[in-house]
Amino acid sequence: MKNATRVMTSTMGIFVGLAGIEHGIGEILQGSVAPDGLTFLSWPESAFFRIQGGEPAMTIVPNLLISGILSTFFSLIFLIWVIRFVQRKNGGLVLMLLSIIMLLVGAGFGPPLLGIILSAAATRINAPWTWWRAHLPVGFQCFLGKMWRWSLIACITSWLFLLPGSNFLGYFFGVDNPVLVLVLIITAFGLLLLTIIAGFASDMQGQSWAQQTLTRISD
Q: Model-level pTM? A: 0.91
Residue partners of 56: CB distance under 8 A and separation at least 6:
39, 40, 41, 42, 108, 109
pLDDT at 9 over 60: yes
pLDDT at 126 over 80: yes
pLDDT at 141 over 50: yes
Higher pLDDT, 40 or 136: 40
Under DSSP, the state recorded for 162 is: I
* pLDDT recorded at residue 119: 97
Integer Cα distance of 25 and 168 in angstroms: 19
Q: How many CB atoms lie within 10 A of CB 14?
A: 15
Mean pLDDT confidence for 100-121: 97
Give the three-state DSSP class for 195: helix
* pLDDT recorded at residue 192: 97
pLDDT at 147 over 80: yes
pLDDT digits (tens, 9 = 90+) for 111-121: 999 999 999 99
Does 164 sit behind a cis peptide bond, omega within 30 degrees of 0 on the bond before it?
yes
To the nearest whole percent, how much of the chain has pLDDT over 70?
94
| C-alpha atoms less than 13 angstroms from C-alpha of 46 in its C-beta half-sphere | 21
Integer Cα distance of 121 and 26 in angstroms: 29
Integer Cα distance of 172 and 176 in angstroms: 11
The total of structural domains in the chain comes to 1
pLDDT at 212 over 70: no
Which residues span the domain enclosing 8?
4-218
* pLDDT recorded at residue 210: 44
Mean pLDDT confidence for 66-88: 97
Contact between 30 and 135 under an 8 Å Cβ cutoff? The reply is no
Higher pLDDT, 140 or 124: 124
Transcribe 52-95 into DSSP letters: GTT-EEE-SSS-HHHHHHHHHHHHHHHHHHHHHTTTSTTHHHHH
For the chain, the average pLDDT equals 90
